[in-house]
Structure 1
Amino acid sequence: MTTSSASSEAAQTAMIPQREPPVRRRGVPGWLRQNLFSSPLNSLVSVVMLVVTVMVLWPLLQWAVVQADWLGETRQACTGEGACWVFISARLESIVYGFYPESEIWRVNIVFAMLAGVIAWLVLPRLPAKGWMALFALTGFPIIAFFLLAGGAFGLMPVPTRDWGGLMLTLTIAVVGIVGSLPIGILLALGRRSSMPLVRGVSVVFIEFWRGVPLITVLFMASVMLPLFVPSEVEFDKLLRALVGIMLFWSAYMAEVVRGGLQAIDKGQDEAGMSLGLGYWQRMGLIVLPQALKLVIPGIVNTFIALFKDTSLVLIIGLLDLLSIIQAGLTDPEWLGYAMEGYVFAALVYWVFCFSMSRYSQRIERKLHTGH
């Protein structure tokens, strides 16, 4: 027997020495060990940051939860040293519905339920007919919501927009602005890259004009100056003027976001579509735009978040949104001195909606493999 065959036989019959078990990397202990305590320096930094976080958040937690007053209807119910959330609960109806007639609030609740159902259908995975639901969200839902909120048809009592306010008005402005600004922005982005000088020039002038003025100026012009340039017989609703101004303003920003995605697509993609005999709109709709929009999902959602937060600027034209209703409630002599609770509640509501949009955009990115 040769030396090589002898060593091979010994290697096959020899017992493997006992080794240490693998480090557990699953569950909460594994996550903590891998992310917070993977090394002595990392462990020290994690402990210091945890101590600082507790020192900062514990007084806030005591004020907002432990020592807070939750139940009651008047100022006399606030007897503790913490937050007086009675202010929010006592004025919750006006914060959500504004000055909408109490007997017609059921119409707003139906719209809220429909909006929640549409969002849940589009967000939850494995639900069928998402394309049809998206089409309904862009076409059918706005029409149904308009007739329910405004009334004046199908036996519903008309409710003027001056009675709209609170969270209902904030969501109305945000949804209409988001749904309207995206398609207009896509058309403007395509127009700015067009080979036709007139179309390109009009798109450039439109984009640069609306990006060059602040939104407050746009709202002021839409509310005060626009009626001076139209016939006296024509009456534009104040909310409608604000919605048009917000859509045009944010469509200019959306156009630049989409244009960045279009520039990131290689020219060969468009040329490949031309070689197949596809027309311009077929190439854009089937080949170029799907790839471009996938690349700029973070920018699009960032614009949506900025639009949602800027809905509070409609106060300048006399529309009382969520933040404005809370500020108006703070002027009530019965509730003087509780501004902190009102602003914290408004900030929490804005954060919930903005954070939800951000998380949903990240989920879409992972689903579409944007990073590959």
Structure 2
Amino acid sequence: MSDVTANIAYVRTKEKAPLPPPRRTTGVVAWMRENLFSSWSNTALTLLGAWLLYSIVPPILDWALLSATFTGTDRQACLRDGAGACWPFIDAKFDQFIYGRYPLEERWRVDWTFFLGIAGLIPMLIPRVPFKFWNALYLLLPYPIIAFFLLTGGVMGLEEVETALWGGMLVTLVVAITGIVASLPLGILLALGRRSQMPVIRMLSIGFIEIWRGVPLVTVLFMASVMLPLFLPEDVTFDKLLRCLIAVALFSAAYMAEVVRGGLQAVPRGQYEGAQALGLNYWQMMIFIILPQALKTVIPGIVNSFIALFKDTTLVLIIGLFDLLGIIQLNFTDPTWATPQTAATGYVFAGFFYFVICAGMSQYSRYMERRLDTGHRND
């Protein structure tokens, strides 16, 4: 009995607190061991990356911030020894970078166009905001008409402004947004036409897609601007910007068609058979069953096409339309700001603008992918 009593005295009545895990398996050290130094090759790449950052980042920061010029009224402020970026050039020309040569007293119309577009776009991008149908209807029907008359004028007492005076971010956004909005529905129709059972529609769709994909955008813009008027009657003319918008939309639609076609081919055959078993006709099957699944699958490809189109707007400079990059290059010739750092500063500003827009589209597409990725959940 004494032995039993002695053993009972050592029985715990409370659970002992667990020991903390080894420091090498948690925290920053564990993350570095797993991601940066997990093997000799990863270690070598980590050290190489650290050396590259050490070699590149400090000079960039020194040029853009530490040695940069932030105030001044002309080139003299940026001509000192060791001067970095000439940011007063951006400040002095900022209005031109946004509006181009749009008349100064009429620029409020551009501001209102931007405001009305943003006011309709932001609620459309937020999933939980109600009245999505009416919001989309506003962006597709009334807003383009309002924007057209606001920018061009000639009605309701507004002074007419020729598109030749447009420039900067205004032209960049007009070309990009028009191409994006027009290319997606056209691409969907072309993709459906290429998969059609009717030989005539299928061959016409294939011919359109292959012809437009077989030539570079530079050639398309050149043909639309220079060659197309030669084939029209003398009394028939089209605005140069309008010709550019049509060319960009058709060119982008050809690439969009192949992206959408990839999504259509990824939809299982059973989805088609199930829709037909429910008695749905062709368009009901496509609109309610097939296209939602196909478009969700190819969101990365669609956004990739949008980003490529947005960056390709810089090519409109070859036909005499001054987008953001074109208006920046045009201002390099201003002797008031002719310095060794002016060009680099302008290009950095343009690159930052394009990066912000493209990165924003990319991040929003990733958000939509995560939100729509419900196909394999069990809840």
Q: TM-score, normalization: structure 2?
A: 0.88
Q: Which residue of 1 aligns with 2:277?
A: 275
Greater mean alpha carbon deviation, residues 352-361 or residues 34-43: 34-43
Assess if the C-alpha contact under 8 Å between 2:90 and 2:346 holds in 1.
yes
Question: Are the structure 2 counterparts of residues 290 and 40 from structure 1 closer, same or farther at C-alpha, using a change threshold of 3 Å?
Answer: closer
Is 1:106 aligned with 2:98? no
Q: Which residue of 1 aligns with 2:243?
A: 241
Is 1:348 aligned with 2:352? yes
Q: d(CA) in 2 for partners of 1:213 and 1:357?
A: 27
Q: Which residue of 2 aligns with 1:228?
A: 230
Percent of aligned positions with the same letter in both sequences?
A: 54
**1:197-276 counterparts in 2 under 5 A?**
197-276=199-278
Question: Are the structure 2 counterparts of residues 23 and 331 from structure 1 closer, same or farther at C-alpha, using a change threshold of 3 Å?
Answer: farther
**Cα displacement (A) at 1:10:** 11
**Cα displacement (A) at 1:141:** 1.7
Q: d(CA) in 2 for partners of 1:241 and 1:118?
A: 27
- Residues 30-51 of structure 1 deviation map (CA, whole Å, 9 limit, x = unaligned): 5x45643547825967576445
**Cα displacement (A) at 1:137:** 1.7
**Cα displacement (A) at 1:22:** 6.2
Q: Which residue of 2 aligns with 1:5?
A: none
Q: d(CA) in 2 for partners of 1:206 and 1:345?
A: 38
Q: Which residue of 1 aligns with 2:5?
A: none
Is 1:36 aligned with 2:32? yes
Q: Aligned with 2:220: secondary structure? A: helix
Question: Are the structure 2 counterparts of residues 207 and 85 from structure 1 closer, same or farther at C-alpha, using a change threshold of 3 Å?
Answer: same
Q: Which residue of 2 aligns with 1:55?
A: 55
Q: d(CA) in 2 for partners of 1:247 and 1:33?
A: 51
**Cα displacement (A) at 1:331:** 1.5
Q: d(CA) in 1 for partners of 2:237 and 2:11?
A: 94
Q: d(CA) in 1 for partners of 2:22 and 2:124?
A: 40
Query: Amino acid of the residue matched to residue 280 of structure 2?
Result: L
Q: Which residue of 2 aligns with 1:69?
A: 69
Q: Which residue of 2 aligns with 1:179?
A: 181
Q: Aligned with 2:37: secondary structure? A: helix
**Cα displacement (A) at 1:82:** 1.4
Assess if the C-alpha contact under 8 Å between 2:36 and 2:46 holds in 1.
no
Greater mean alpha carbon deviation, residues 38-47 or residues 123-132: 38-47
Task: Show structure 1 runs of 5+ residues with no match.
Answer: 1-8
Query: Amino acid of the residue matched to residue 234 of structure 2?
Result: S
Question: Are the structure 2 counterparts of residues 125 and 191 from structure 1 closer, same or farther at C-alpha, using a change threshold of 3 Å?
Answer: closer
Q: d(CA) in 1 for partners of 2:246 and 2:11?
A: 80
Greater mean alpha carbon deviation, residues 316-325 or residues 327-336: 327-336
Q: Aligned with 1:165: secondary structure? A: coil
Q: d(CA) in 1 for partners of 2:37 and 2:193?
A: 54
Q: d(CA) in 1 for partners of 2:52 and 2:375?
A: 35
**1:1-372 counterparts in 2 under 5 A?**
15-21=14-20, 30=27, 32-33=28-29, 35-38=31-34, 41-42=37-38, 49-50=49-50, 52-78=52-78, 79=80, 81-336=83-338, 337=340, 338-369=342-373, 372=376
**Cα displacement (A) at 1:20:** 1.7
Query: Amino acid of the residue matched to residue 15 of structure 2?
Result: I
Q: d(CA) in 1 for partners of 2:108 and 2:193?
A: 43
Q: d(CA) in 2 for partners of 1:39 and 1:357?
A: 28
Query: Amino acid of the residue matched to residue 136 of structure 2?
Result: A
Q: Aligned with 1:19: secondary structure? A: coil
Assess if the C-alpha contact under 8 Å between 1:73 and 1:89 holds in 2.
no
Greater mean alpha carbon deviation, residues 287-296 or residues 133-142: 133-142
**Cα displacement (A) at 1:260:** 0.2
Q: TM-score, normalization: structure 1?
A: 0.90
